[in-house]
Structure 1
Amino acid sequence: MSLPSTDTSRHDNILAVLRTLREQGPVARVDLGALNGISSATVTSISAELLQQGLITEHPHATPRPAVRGRPKTLIALDPQAAYVVCIKLSINEIQLVVGNFAGQVCHSEYHIIPTLKLTADDLVTLLQEKVSAVCAQQQGKFQRLAGICLAVQGVVSSAYGTIIWSPALSFRNASISDHLVEYFNCSVLLENDANCIISLLAAQPAYADSPNLVVIMLGYGIGMSVLINGVPFVGANGSAAELGHSKYQPDGALCACGRRGCIEAYVSDYALYREAVHHSVLLNDETTHPSESQMRSLTQMAAQGDPQAMRIYAEAGRALGYGIANVLALFNPDLVLITGAGVRGFDAMQEAMQHAISEALVAELVGSTRIESHAWDQDMTCMGGIAMTLYATDSQTLLSTNERA
């Protein structure tokens, strides 16, 4: 739900310069031209305009190497204070707010424990308005403007209409959220599935540049998935495509958080693993449906040390995940399947059963050359991806606003 913007050839060139600086960091003008196929004269003109608007800064001359003759290059970089965005990650009983500056760097993060399942749609809107307002008050004077907000949600959302269709973190359905925030904050608001935020960040990494048909599976409290086909997100008719966690592994099987039985999530998610561990007395029951990170790491460690019940639990999870991935391979034939999320901590304990299930489910020709890899979850990529998506979506509006101010 972005505010309108202009679209001209020069405008596109300016956006290309901004985004290259965000990806690369400080770059010399001559190199910016080569990276974007823009003439040196055009880059010089654009950089002069952006300097005047306060969107970029000049760095001191790079120190030349002793053997290199001639004048050193002057580097230009985005001014981090030109604008900021706020990404809100909404998950069960928790919200995280992260502030990203104009260069895409995180400069503030905070968590709040909230009984999300008790909220009405109006309660959620009021809560988000209060929390984002408080964060913006903290940032007052540090930035030129608030460029946009991203709300990253577990579950099914309609990005086009700004509607949360269904989320395991909430008790209500089909609620319009974005319009209220747009009106309240007078800025662009993106509503995204959390897995889509993650795949946008991973797809931009050089290591995966050769994988335009990319599938990212997120393991954690729930099971999420996002799909790129020829580099374009596949979201389906109403945003509910790629819900791997709620495809079926075993009819009439274990109970899923969605209320149905036999979903892959009901075997692979953190709450499913914890439920099995408590049932078989592998872990003590602390009467929670939302296990802590320390509890899940304890379970993973027990499996790694050879505890037979813990190994069995992860083997069953790996088998369920393997059958889910087999369906993905047969339907999408991706270049790469990346498995990430907090639940990737248990990937090693699942991997053997997962690979066996894929081989059992598919002929080798359907597996083909698709690579299946894990990606470390050493930082929460949801908010990082949300920040990047919001900056990308609001760069045009930032340019327009700075032009109007000038």
Structure 2
Amino acid sequence: MSKRPDRPLPIGTPAGVEVLTKILTQGPIPRVKIARRTGLSQAAVTKAVAPLIDAGFVTDQPGATEGRAELGIGRPVSPLTVVANSVSVIGLKVTPTDLIGVTTDFKAGIRTVRHQQLTERTPAAVIDRLAELAHELIATLDDQAGPLIGIGVAVSGDVDAQHGVVRDSPFMGWRDVPVAALLGERLQVPVVVSNDVRALTVAEHWFGVGVDADSFAVVTIGSGVGCGLYINGEVVSGAHGVSGELGHLPLAPGDLVCTCGRRGCVETVASSDAILARVRETTGQPDLDLSGAIQLAHEGDAHAREAFDRAGEVIGSALAAMVNLVGPELVVIAGEGVADYDLYEDRMRQAFAEHAFGAAGEATLMLRSHTFDDWARGAAATVIRSYVRGEPPLHR
């Protein structure tokens, strides 16, 4: 299995990037629709597509007719679609307890999944295990898979994606870890490192609910509370690589200390760890696990219900603050914490309605369940985006 395509992606202009992006995210799509949606002429679209077809990245999908097909009137249309197996990608998600890896095709379709437990969180130990997992996934790429173009790594916290450095990950206990350099040296494959929520947002933008949205946010609820933003045609990265840190808005009581070391963060009340801690404290059951806390709440235990109500209040207020600032049309609520969504949904929606200003409150709140496999797929999606755009470390 070659580590890079034998023939690099033949795109030489911004128009070519725009055309391939439309085919990749909205295909199968006829040339005429690409022209309408990009503002390019059909001749320019044809010129951009021709080398992609010749190189085997794009193909025509025959069989459609534009016009009154039932009357035999109209002209044949051959929508363009990406050849899924023209390349392969690996996505890796890092958590404090597990590593999750997937292989995907060019459309971010998951082909293979591997999970490994982590017993150590030190950067050296985790990099070793990531390299092992990557080698295991590379070995699954058979003759039907396209050449491997890169590996994406998704980690929670403050990530400098441009340099592939995890600057601060409280959950992992990492500071200034050059993940891309360390892992790339082991594997000799381009490595793209991203904040995990931002990677999930890229996947939703290119291959999910955000394909047709003008603006949207992805809010993840679990061990932490994260937020990815898609505004004005781009996933927001922030001037310093930090944006959408919903979990660290100071909306909770100031006596509560967050894992980040600051006080009053949303996560101190709304994360699954915070909810569990609150239920343990108020019920006097220190050995209770999260499933037990959820069960108590479903059974109507007042202490457990209070913990979830409090979480819903703070999450709803945080969502209102976010939509008031950036005004997305859609908010996707995702993550492992949505399993207990019904326990705080009413209070969350009530708080959201109370604090959302004017038309910002018309944003649609959508529940979307995600597994850790989806987070790893998000890491792969960041590689695909960098590859199409020719961004480092995947220069064309």
TM over 0.5: yes
What's the CA shift for 1:284?
Answer: 7.8
What's the CA shift for 1:285?
Answer: 2.1
* 8 Å Cα contact 2:320/2:352 also seen in 1: yes
Normalized against structure 2, the TM-score is what? Answer: 0.81
2:194 is aligned to 192
Q: Aligned pairs, how many? A: 382
CA RMSD of aligned residues (A): 3.6
SS in 1 for 2:242: coil
* 8 Å Cα contact 2:171/2:259 also seen in 1: no
Which residues in structure 2 correspond to 1:69-84 (within 5 Å)?
69=73, 72-84=76-88
User: After superposition, what is the alpha-carbon deviation per residue over 1:367-389, rounded to whole angstroms, capped at 9, x for unaligned?
Assistant: 85452613221555433333333
* 8 Å Cα contact 1:274/1:283 also seen in 2: no
2:245 is aligned to 243
Which residues in structure 2 correspond to 1:4-403 (within 5 Å)?
11-59=13-61, 61-62=63-64, 65-69=69-73, 72-117=76-121, 119=122, 121-204=123-206, 209=212, 211-212=214-215, 214-248=216-250, 249-253=252-256, 255-281=257-283, 285=287, 295-296=290-291, 299-300=293-294, 302-329=296-323, 331-332=325-326, 334-357=328-351, 362=355, 365=357, 368-371=360-363, 373-379=365-371, 381-395=374-388
What's the CA shift for 1:170?
Answer: 1.8
* 8 Å Cα contact 1:300/1:345 also seen in 2: no
Taking the aligned partners of 1:138 and 1:7, their CA distance within structure 2 comes to 23
* 8 Å Cα contact 1:283/1:299 also seen in 2: no
What residue ranges of structure 1 are gaps of 5+ in the alignment? Answer: 1-5
In structure 2, do the counterparts of structure 1 residues 183 and 11 end up closer, same or farther at CA, with 3 Å as the change threshold?
farther
Q: Decide which moves more: 146-155 or 304-313.
A: 304-313
Taking the aligned partners of 1:106 and 1:319, their CA distance within structure 2 comes to 36
SS in 2 for 1:139: coil
Instruction: Report the AA paired with residue 153 of structure 1.
Output: V
* 8 Å Cα contact 1:98/1:383 also seen in 2: yes
Taking the aligned partners of 2:127 and 2:55, their CA distance within structure 1 comes to 34
Taking the aligned partners of 1:232 and 1:35, their CA distance within structure 2 comes to 16
* 8 Å Cα contact 1:188/1:394 also seen in 2: no
Taking the aligned partners of 1:256 and 1:112, their CA distance within structure 2 comes to 28
2:3 is aligned to none
Taking the aligned partners of 1:359 and 1:61, their CA distance within structure 2 comes to 48
In structure 2, do the counterparts of structure 1 residues 271 and 279 end up closer, same or farther at CA, with 3 Å as the change threshold?
same
Taking the aligned partners of 1:184 and 1:196, their CA distance within structure 2 comes to 25
SS in 2 for 1:251: coil
In structure 2, do the counterparts of structure 1 residues 127 and 18 end up closer, same or farther at CA, with 3 Å as the change threshold?
same
What residue ranges of structure 2 are gaps of 5+ in the alignment? Answer: 1-7
